[in-house]
Structure 1
Amino acid sequence: MTKSKLYEYRADLLLLTVAIAWGVTFLMVQEAINTTPVYAFLFFRFALASLLMFIIAYKFLKETNTQTVVFGITLGLILFSAFATQTFGLSFTKSSIVAFITGLNVICVPFLAYFIFKDHVRKNVFVASLIAVVGLYLLTMSGTLTLGIGEFLTLICAVLFALHIIFTGKFSVKVNVFVLVLVQFTTVAILSLIFSLCLDDKTFDLPYDYNFFKAVIVTAVFATVYAFLIQTYMQQFTTATKTAVIFTMEPVSAAVYGYFAGGEILTQIQIFGAVLILVATLVAELRFRKINK
């Protein structure tokens, strides 16, 4: 096995831990936003993440340049816009439908990567994307899929998350990863504060209880600092399309965690959907070689 392949497999494994971290904290976020406005919660989450990231990136700040700031702000704008459209989508349609359409970024990534950067996508990774879409449908869908305003906003969200994955891979190889992530987090925190002050009924007058602090701290540390730092760094060694396939493991881990920790019920159809997503991640790792006579 070559060193580049070893780096790729290591990157894929660590990206899988990111999907698991997002899935495990999903239930926690749902509980938090029952009492805390969404944008206020995002502000506290990303503000704490920015502070932690500043401590981590402090010794690299001397490597900050205009390109790093522009790339970081770009990623921050895309990421926040994805969160915003997803949140507004949730106010118009079912969460299960939002979860499915958001997951469609797995099929958006290869097309966008090709049209924007002419990136080649291996056939097995494209097939894995299709399998993952079917698995996502079976795992998450519990309503009729129509094309209303909620579905349209969530479709925009899916495209934005796909763009975030693609541009993260392109930017991470050009600038210091730690500073890039710091600027991205700061951008999201500032935008979340602005939106919260404009749209939420309250931003700072919140119930600062155990559930609030638990959700903010856990999501800031594991679902934000760890997750996006690993994603940004490891996408240097793997493709955007494969990253998107691996990230479809997020709803799988969320479903499994919800089953054991939240007492949620998983139907046989949902379990089959989760198995298909697992198959998709394995298919994405396959490599076929031509056999010469």
Structure 2
Amino acid sequence: MINYKLKELIADFLLLLVAVAWGSTFFVVQAAVNETPVYTFLFWRFFVAAVLMLLLSVRALRYFNTEVLKAGVLLGTFMFLGYAFQTFALTYTYSSTVGFITGLNVIVVPFISYLIFKHKASLFSSFGAVVAAIGLYFLTLNSEIGFGLGEGYAFICAMMFALHIVFTGYYSTKHNVYLLVCIQFFTVALGSFIGGFVLEGAIMPPRIDGLFINAIAITVLFATIFAFWVQTAVQRFTTAAKTAIIFTMEPVSAGLFGYWFANEVLSLSQIAGAFLILSGMLIAELGAYMVERRRLKRKPL
């Protein structure tokens, strides 16, 4: 059990690195999509990642079957719909509002995990999720949340990302990680290809310059291959609820990288929000540790 708790701690740390990787590429992606349509950018990001992941998955192809195909397509569909509805939401409401509502999947994940797989979140994870959600509010304090179409799209986006987290934890214990990730990437690329033609008229970027190439390279390597492979590989050792809490560090790291490298200003409310998110993560982590220590002390020798 101690060995398993160590694996859980390592898994949580690696998931934190995933959140940092996503946050660190935020301002790079933001700059790129100012010049390149969103679905065009998503297509090339995930298509290149899928091809590279396929090369890394050659030895795992012997494990390919219809079950892993179904699992990978389902996860990829959740991922693509999350990005798609996030994009729709951004056209109708403020980015800070979309960020806050999307981040509320930290509250949704424990309920979905229980309803579908009967996985009950611990009291500490639930409390940590609430604290992290409050932190998200302060981090995006300029949000003007109403009940418009944009907010509805953002809520669907949050549900899709929550389902992705929950089902990743389930399927990662049953199928080859390389194949799961590879199939997800191809699924998102296909969805983006269709979305690009339907909504943008093409999937070729208007300009292939240094900004586009650098953004694709950085997001493919760090925010896509590294991030989703690590999530799929290690989430089996932790819970979906804790994963969602850890992922709330993405906007925190985005703010910090924007402050350090893009000269963005952090307000007091954003700093307070970042502190609360970090507190929520620590509550879930330390709470699980204390519960396990108490259980081991009560265990008869």
1:126 paired residue number: 126
1:196 paired residue number: 196
Structure 1 residue runs of 4+, over 4 Å off? none
- Judged with a 3 Å threshold, the aligned counterparts in structure 2 of structure 1 residues 263 and 205 are, in CA distance, closer, same or farther, namely closer
1:232 paired residue number: 232
2:32 paired residue number: 32
Q: What percentage of residue pairs aligned between the two structures are identical?
A: 48
What is the rounded CA distance, in whole Å, between the counterparts of 1:221 and 1:93 in structure 2? 30
Aligned to 2:25, the other structure's residue is in SS state: helix
1:68 paired residue number: 68
What is the rounded CA distance, in whole Å, between the counterparts of 1:72 and 1:141 in structure 2? 36
1:165 paired residue number: 165
Higher deviation after alignment, 1-10 or 165-174: 1-10
1:11 paired residue number: 11
Q: Following superposition of structure 1 onto structure 2, how do residues 104-143 of structure 1 map, counting pairs within 5 Å?
A: 104-143=104-143
- Judged with a 3 Å threshold, the aligned counterparts in structure 2 of structure 1 residues 205 and 108 are, in CA distance, closer, same or farther, namely closer
2:179 paired residue number: 179
Q: Following superposition of structure 1 onto structure 2, how do residues 189-268 of structure 1 map, counting pairs within 5 Å?
A: 189-268=189-268
User: Any idea what the Cα deviations from partners look like across 1:180-231, whole Å, max 9, x if unmatched?
Assistant: 1101100110110111011114421520000000101100110000000000
**Which residue identity does 2:65 align to in structure 1?**
N
1:102 paired residue number: 102
What is the rounded CA distance, in whole Å, between the counterparts of 2:205 and 2:168 in structure 1? 35
User: Any idea what the Cα deviations from partners look like across 1:96-123, whole Å, max 9, x if unmatched?
Assistant: 0000000000000001111111111100
2:41 paired residue number: 41
Higher deviation after alignment, 282-291 or 115-124: 282-291
What is the rounded CA distance, in whole Å, between the counterparts of 2:238 and 2:260 in structure 1? 32
| Equivalent pair of 1:252/1:274 in contact (CA under 8 Å) | yes
Paired residues, what number?
A: 292
Aligned to 1:236, the other structure's residue is in SS state: helix
Cα distance, 1:141 vs structure 2 = 2.9
What is the rounded CA distance, in whole Å, between the counterparts of 1:70 and 1:4 in structure 2? 29
| Equivalent pair of 1:139/1:272 in contact (CA under 8 Å) | yes
Cα distance, 1:52 vs structure 2 = 1.1
Aligned to 1:197, the other structure's residue is in SS state: helix
1:276 paired residue number: 276
Cα distance, 1:24 vs structure 2 = 0.4
What is the rounded CA distance, in whole Å, between the counterparts of 1:183 and 1:177 in structure 2? 10
| Equivalent pair of 1:106/1:241 in contact (CA under 8 Å) | yes
- Judged with a 3 Å threshold, the aligned counterparts in structure 2 of structure 1 residues 201 and 119 are, in CA distance, closer, same or farther, namely same
Higher deviation after alignment, 53-62 or 89-98: 53-62
User: Any idea what the Cα deviations from partners look like across 1:82-109, whole Å, max 9, x if unmatched?
Assistant: 1000000000000000000000000000
Could you tell me which runs of 5 or more consecutive residues in structure 2 were left unpaired when the two chains were aligned.
none
| Equivalent pair of 1:23/1:251 in contact (CA under 8 Å) | yes
Higher deviation after alignment, 135-144 or 123-132: 135-144
TM-score, normalised by the number of residues in structure 2: 0.95
The CA RMSD over aligned residues, in Å, is: 1.2
Higher deviation after alignment, 134-143 or 39-48: 134-143
- Judged with a 3 Å threshold, the aligned counterparts in structure 2 of structure 1 residues 244 and 205 are, in CA distance, closer, same or farther, namely closer
What is the rounded CA distance, in whole Å, between the counterparts of 1:41 and 1:239 in structure 2? 32
Cα distance, 1:143 vs structure 2 = 2.9
Aligned to 1:119, the other structure's residue is in SS state: coil
What is the rounded CA distance, in whole Å, between the counterparts of 1:204 and 1:267 in structure 2? 38
| Equivalent pair of 1:37/1:202 in contact (CA under 8 Å) | no
What is the rounded CA distance, in whole Å, between the counterparts of 1:86 and 1:34 in structure 2? 16
Cα distance, 1:63 vs structure 2 = 0.6
